[in-house]
Amino acid sequence: MSETIPKACVMGHPVAQSRSPLLHGHWLKTLGIAGAYELVDVSEADFPSFLRNLRPNGFVGGNITVPHKEAAFRAVDRRDEAASAIGAVNTVWYEDASLVGGNTDAYGFASHLDASIPRWHETARRAVVLGAGGAARAIVHALLSRGLQVAIVNRTLARAEALAAHVSGGPSAARASAHAPGALDALLASADLLVNATSLGMAGKDALDLDVSRLAPGAIVYDIVYVPLETALLRAARARGHRAVDGLGMLLHQAVPAFARWFGVTPAVTPALRAVIEADIRARTGAA
């Protein structure tokens, strides 16, 4: 029987750390869907052919994680609008015989913000995004799509410039700018939204050296790092009265459209789901 149930997977290398099986497994169980979600550790050399043979291998689709997101972008038959804009694919599914690649990180970022602070975008005009890596690409795309001006601040200025140039092909051209860390204090003073999209502040990494007193009083602070569950940035922001948005919600929300593609039901991000993932983070890392 098991070969007839819909099966999805997460493909990465390494992949054992992924929380996607727990997340999708929770939805399969609570929604009563006869399906499965597996971990597949696949090397860079083997990934393109594994992906091209996903359906013959028994999968209806899957997630792609480090280091395969760009390879997946190249290997799919076509991409959705977000994946095309971001340049990376984190979710694949079939439409008839075509393997389609999408990117749900921008959706996850914005949905969690919408759920946490309804109508935030009605007053937010200027965002500062720290970082210019894969996650920052998705976030910059999400914020430009919502009409904000986005200042990208990165340790390696050339990477921030490359990201700003990447999004400059379309109507968002004039709304993205690149800056070195030295410009941060001045940018913070007029920001409506600050997003940490670097790995700084994550357990085991360097601390994020940022003075929240430089922020405008009404600014929203969003940290996409979710280990620890409450980062030093979020704690400092809350202590000064800022509205703070955490990274775990982004992780949960980005999984929603993928599950809907594979299993035909749109799941909800619930407190119960959040509790399951929080417990796993605490158990595996001892993080508070």
281, 226 Cβ separation under 8 angstroms: yes
Q: How far is the CB of 107 from ligand NAP (least distance, A)?
A: 11
Q: How far is the CB of 69 from ligand NAP (least distance, A)?
A: 9
Q: Does 12 bind ligand NAP (CB under 6 A)?
A: no
Q: Name which of 136 and 258 has its Cβ closer to ligand NAP.
A: 136
Query: What distances in angstroms separate CA 153 from CA 83, 91, 182, 197, 237, one per listed residue?
Result: 22, 28, 9, 10, 19
Q: How far is the CB of 4 from ligand NAP (least distance, A)?
A: 32
245, 194 Cβ separation under 8 angstroms: no
Is residue 69 annotated as part of the catalytic site, yes or no? Answer: yes
Give the one residue of 74, 155, 235, 240 binding ligand NAP; rule: CB under 6 A. 155
Q: Does 134 bind ligand NAP (CB under 6 A)?
A: yes
Spatial strand order in the sheet of 61-64: 36-41, 7-12, 61-64, 91-95, 98-102, 78-79
Q: Does 135 bind ligand NAP (CB under 6 A)?
A: yes
Considering only 3-11, 94-102, 125-133, 234-242, which stretch makes contact with ligand NAP by CB under 6 A? 125-133
Rounded-to-integer distance, Cα 53 and Cα 71, Å? 14
What DSSP element (H or E) covers 115? helix 105-116
Residue closest to ligand NAP (Cβ): 133
Rg (CA), the chain: 19
Q: Which of 58, 4, 40, 6 is nearest to 259 (CA)?
A: 6
Q: Does 202 bind ligand NAP (CB under 6 A)?
A: yes
Please pick, among 7, 29, 69, 205, the residue that the annotation labels catalytic.
Answer: 69
Q: Does 102 bind ligand NAP (CB under 6 A)?
A: no
Q: Does 284 bind ligand NAP (CB under 6 A)?
A: no
Rounded-to-integer distance, Cα 157 and Cα 288, Å? 33
**Residue whose entry in the numeric block shows the structure tokens 């990208």:** 152
Strand 7-12 relative to strand 176-179, pairing:
unpaired
Considering only 39-47, 155-163, 185-193, 214-222, which stretch makes contact with ligand NAP by CB under 6 A? 155-163
Give the one residue of 23, 64, 188, 224 binding ligand NAP; rule: CB under 6 A. 224
> Checking phi first, is residue 65 left (phi over 0); if not, alpha (psi -120 to 50) or beta?
beta
Rounded-to-integer distance, Cα 214 and Cα 33, Å? 49
Give the one residue of 206, 211, 240, 264 binding ligand NAP; rule: CB under 6 A. 206
Give the one residue of 76, 225, 234, 273 binding ligand NAP; rule: CB under 6 A. 225
Q: Does 251 bind ligand NAP (CB under 6 A)?
A: yes
Half-sphere exposure of 84 (CA within 13 A, CB side): 8
Give the one residue of 111, 154, 172, 231 binding ligand NAP; rule: CB under 6 A. 154
Considering only 34-42, 57-65, 221-229, 260-268, which stretch makes contact with ligand NAP by CB under 6 A? 221-229
Rounded-to-integer distance, Cα 247 and Cα 249, Å? 5
Q: Does 267 bind ligand NAP (CB under 6 A)?
A: no
Q: Does 178 bind ligand NAP (CB under 6 A)?
A: no
Catalytic sites, residue numbers = 69
Interacting residue ranges for ligand NAP, rule: CB under 6 A: 105, 108, 131-136, 154-156, 159, 197-200, 202, 206, 224-226, 247, 250-251, 254
